Amino acid sequence: MAPAVNTERISSFVLPDRIVVGLGHMGAGMAASLVRAGHRVLGVDPGPVPTPAGVVRTTLPEALAEAQAPVLVLSLPGTEQVDQLLPDLEQAPAPVLVIDASTCPPADTRRRAERLAGHGHVLVDAPVSGGPSGAADGALTVFLGCSEEHLERVLDALDPLAAHVNHVGEVGAGNTAKLMNNLLCGVHLSAAQALHGAAEASGVEVERLLAAVNTASGRSGVTEVNLPRWVLSGSFDSGFPVGLMARDVGLAAEMTEELGVSSPLVEAARAMWDGLLEQIGATADFNKMVTTR
């Protein structure tokens, strides 16, 4: 059942200027960071998720009608969910800046940006890295696809959310960078499965083997961060599930195929993540790749 809309609280707000669509782990953290930065935030989510403190829950049409010079942040599962919003956005009473933090195929992002531009709106792609903790702390890394014309306004809107904003290029470039980042992370985790297995099979302490690698050329973000923090600790609580990583590796593989730059390694990574998804399910922590054989 969709949550009730509290229109009385909405009307008591003074000039709400931020709308967050998608109040899951990432969206809720971003909404909380915007509230902490002094913004009036309206939240939209049809699911039974909690409403962050300081956020007024409503529907998208109501939020678009209430917000002043609205900036809309999307934190949604994927391209299908973003497409479902387009009819409401097209009918918004005032121009909207849409910052899409969802991970989507770059071609879909460019298509949506062109469609919304015909109605006077601006859409940029700003997929993120940093997990729920980064969202809650306002310390995300953003991969931004945005024209120079709108860059200053977009950077100002992202300031409460991000520790690092990488302006990669025009619209669509942000998702290209995010998919390449997650493909590399997926490959590194797949390779780290062999490191972990070799330690067990050879009798070498995995902590010592990892420490040695991290002083040399084989190190990566996975060996320096993921393994110590979420694998060797046994916590497996990064907040990023197998289902999303398998999706992202798959999207990256499709993109490289379309561009004519795929490789056997990319296909092997896709097969390993699809296999892990089938073996342990979509909700398990993605770092389980290292220990699952």
Structure tokens at 229: 């923090």
Instruction: Write the DSSP assignment of the chain as a string of letters.
Output: -PPPP-HHHHHHSS---EEEE--SHHHHHHHHHHHHTT--EEEE-SSSPPPPTTEEEE-HHHHHHH-SS-EEEE--SSHHHHHTTHHHHHT-SS--EEEE-S---HHHHHHHHHHHHTTT-EEEE--EESHHHHHHHT-EEEEEE--HHHHHHHHHHHTTTEEEEEEEESTTHHHHHHHHHHHHHHHHHHHHHHHHHHHHHHT--HHHHHHHHTTSTT--HIIIIIIIIIITTS----S-BHHHHHHHHHHHHHHHHHHT---HHHHHHHHHHHHHHHHH-TTSBGGGGGT--
Query: How far is residue 132's CA from residue 26's CA, in Å, rounded to a whole number?
Result: 5
Q: Which residues are part of the catalytic machinery?
A: 178
Query: How far is residue 224's CA from residue 204's CA, in Å, rounded to a whole number?
Result: 18
Q: Which of 256, 55, 259, 28 has the alpha carbon at shortest distance from 138?
A: 28
- Specify which residues 239 forms β-bridges with: none
Query: How far is residue 244's CA from residue 179's CA, in Å, rounded to a whole number?
Result: 11
Angle between helices 173-202 and 206-213 in degrees, nearest 10: 130
Structure tokens at 218: 């084989």
